[in-house]
Amino acid sequence: MKPCQPGDWVARSLTSVWHPCTQMQHHETMPLVPVSHGRGAWLFGTDGKRYLDAISSWWVNLFGHANPRINAALKEQLDLLEHAMLAGFTHEPVIRLSERLAVRTNHVLGHCFYASDGASAVEIALKMSFHFWRNSGQTDKREFVCLQGSYHGETIGALAVTDVALFRDAYGPLLQQAHVVATPDARTAEVGQSAADVARRAAMQLEQLLADRADKIAAVIVEPLVQCATGMAMYDPTYLVEARALCDHYGVHLIADEIAVGCGRTGTYFACEQANIWPDFVCLSKGISGGYLPLSLVMTRDEIYRGFYDADVKRGFLHSHSYTGNPLACRAALATLDIFEQDDVLNCNRERATRLTTALKPLAEDKRVAHFRQRGMIWAFDAITDDPAFSRKFFTAGLQHELLLRPIGRTVYLMPPYVLNDEEIDGLAVRTRKVFDEVIGD
Ligand SMILES: Cc1ncc(COP(=O)(O)O)c(C=O)c1O
């Protein structure tokens, strides 16, 4: 292959690649960055420039790019088995991964069903919930409940339980109607209200709905603790406690979409652990493979699994994807779990988090900033600005300061991989401040 000049890559990409989540015309003014390689928290452009990947490449990368341990595991797996179908066959990586994840839930969620992307996992959880009720004779239970501002992916089923207008509105006529209930977003607190008060207030609205329609409702789906895509809306664990109790009381499933917040992102391996609850379904993806390969899965209770176990094929869960349980992706996930266990990652992240929160203090106290917030390895704040192009300007200015940051609307957030050293943490805080000053002005 003939080596390509940096400028050529951009032109060729714009000619032939339709980039995700992008109004392509914006690339007339917004840079497109051709990446040649990655090391640790850094991505390197074909022009030799480098960028600190402060959003873990859409929240997937946990232990840095080209991680030697994950690379070694993958290289070994490549020579053993790249893929085999999972219907009628099985293999060591998928078995070990399912077992190790079940252990992490104390065997409450004893079975794993596999797919590739996050949205597929959400589709699976929704279908499984509906089908479980159908198998148990409750065919009317076919409605779903999601939270205001929820985001669960972009396929038609997942979009139906997504409440972000920008992604949803164009496809509204295609989508099944879901019940949207109040968000426990702590930013909605009234004077004198705590985050837990907001959570209880929101749970009361959920209770009204369930009291009215539980016989028609299959499941409530939530993003535990942080509603990321709507703008890092953080909320108190009380909401999860209440939602679990309400779902138990009214006989409705609770689906925890931990695609963004799982794998240690909020400080515990599963975000639900902070509420001491287990849902009926957990969706995982993104960080599960360390950010290496598309892998998603749905964990569920054995009681739900047993609801499908029957001589009748139609009572089985016949859903599938060609790459379900791909051995390479599962092996990357096993190597990722090894790192969690061998490096005491959750504790080390607490130290990283304290340092970055301290370093971000000047921004947190800035009068042009509202609602500075942090949970685990997620930081966010809302810029006080009306500029509709704020996010794009911030992204572009960030690149000038060796930073990859993509604000959501006017919410600036940091979601770095779990490998930053002290120097990188301090540099990230200083650069974020500089970019903010440049974009927002005085
Ligand atoms: C909470 C949540 N659910 C589902 C998804 C969809 O995952 P994917 O983009 O892999 O389909 C995302 C993606 O950002 C997410 O944040």
pLDDT tens sequence across 277-308: 999 999 999 999 999 999 999 999 999 999 99
pLDDT, tens digit (0-9, with 9 covering 90-100), for 126-156: 999 999 999 999 999 999 999 999 999 999 9
**Pocket flag, ligand 1, residue 53 (CB < 6 Å):** no
For ligand 1, atom 7, which residue shows the shortest CA distance?
118
Residue 226 falls within a domain, yes or no?
A: yes
Same domain membership, residue 249 and residue 365: no
Instruction: Identify which of 232, 235, 257, 259 to mutate to test ligand 1's pocket (most ligand atoms within 8 A of the CB).
Output: 259
Residue 17 falls within a domain, yes or no?
A: no
Q: Among the three residues 314, 342, 370, which one is the final residue of a domain in this structure?
A: 342
pLDDT of residue 114: 98
**Pocket flag, ligand 1, residue 265 (CB < 6 Å):** no
Same domain membership, residue 298 and residue 244: yes
For ligand 1, atom 3, which residue shows the shortest CA distance?
152
Look up the CATH number of the domain holding residue 40.
3.90.1150.10
Residue 23 falls within a domain, yes or no?
A: no
Same domain membership, residue 201 and residue 92: yes
pLDDT of residue 294: 98
Q: Mean of the per-residue pLDDT values for the chain?
A: 97
Q: Pairing between strand 143-147 and 217-222? A: parallel
**Pocket flag, ligand 1, residue 153 (CB < 6 Å):** yes
Q: Coil, helix or strand for 394?
A: helix
Inform me whether the pLDDT recorded for 4 exceeds 70. no
Write the single-letter amino acid at 434: K
pLDDT of residue 441: 86
Same domain membership, residue 253 and residue 178: yes
Residue 22 falls within a domain, yes or no?
A: no
Residue 14 falls within a domain, yes or no?
A: no
Same domain membership, residue 380 and residue 253: no
Q: 143 CB contacts (<8 Å, ≥6 apart)?
A: 178, 179, 213, 216, 217, 218
pLDDT of residue 48: 95
**Pocket flag, ligand 1, residue 219 (CB < 6 Å):** no
Q: Among the three residues 342, 369, 392, which one is the final residue of a domain in this structure?
A: 342
What would the two tokens of residue 125 be?
């959880």
Cα of 439 vs centre of ligand 1, distance in Å, is 28
pLDDT over 90 percentage in the chain: 98
pLDDT of residue 11: 95
**Pocket flag, ligand 1, residue 55 (CB < 6 Å):** no
Q: What is the pLDDT confidence band of residue 43, given thresholds at 50, 70 and 90?
A: very high
Instruction: Identify which of 281, 282, 285, 413 to mutate to test ligand 1's pocket (most ligand atoms within 8 A of the CB).
Output: 285
Same domain membership, residue 211 and residue 87: yes
Inform me whether the pLDDT recorded for 442 exceeds 80. no
Averaged pLDDT, 346-362: 98
Report the interhelical angle of 327-342 vs 345-359 (nearest 10°). Answer: 70
**Pocket flag, ligand 1, residue 122 (CB < 6 Å):** yes
pLDDT of residue 2: 55
Q: What is the pLDDT confidence band of residue 5, given thresholds at 50, 70 and 90?
A: low
Q: Which residues are annotated as a binding site for pyridoxal 5'-phosphate?
A: 118-119, 257, 321-322
pLDDT, tens digit (0-9, with 9 covering 90-100), for 50-92: 999 999 999 999 999 999 999 999 999 999 999 999 999 999 9
Residue 254 falls within a domain, yes or no?
A: yes
DSSP state of 138: -
The domain of 151 spans 70-342
**Pocket flag, ligand 1, residue 162 (CB < 6 Å):** no
pLDDT, tens digit (0-9, with 9 covering 90-100), for 419-440: 999 999 999 999 999 999 999 9
Q: What is the pLDDT confidence band of residue 341, given thresholds at 50, 70 and 90?
A: very high
Inform me whether the pLDDT recorded for 1 exceeds 60. no
Atom of ligand 1 nearest to the CA of 286: 10
Q: Please state the domain count of the chain.
A: 2
Same domain membership, residue 351 and residue 304: no
pTM of the model: 0.97
Residue 15 falls within a domain, yes or no?
A: no
Q: Among the three residues 290, 319, 342, which one is the final residue of a domain in this structure?
A: 342
Same domain membership, residue 349 and residue 337: no
**Pocket flag, ligand 1, residue 257 (CB < 6 Å):** yes
Averaged pLDDT, 262-269: 98
Taking the C-alpha atoms of residue 413 and residue 27, their distance in angstroms, rounded to an integer, is 22
What would the two tokens of residue 3 be?
């080596």
Same domain membership, residue 338 and residue 356: no
Inform me whether the pLDDT recorded for 7 exceeds 90. no
Residue 366 falls within a domain, yes or no?
A: yes
**Pocket flag, ligand 1, residue 259 (CB < 6 Å):** yes
Same domain membership, residue 371 and residue 243: no
Cα of 410 vs centre of ligand 1, distance in Å, is 20
Same domain membership, residue 107 and residue 140: yes
Helix (H) or strand (E) holding 358: helix 345-359
Same domain membership, residue 160 and residue 54: no
Look up the CATH number of the domain holding residue 96.
3.40.640.10
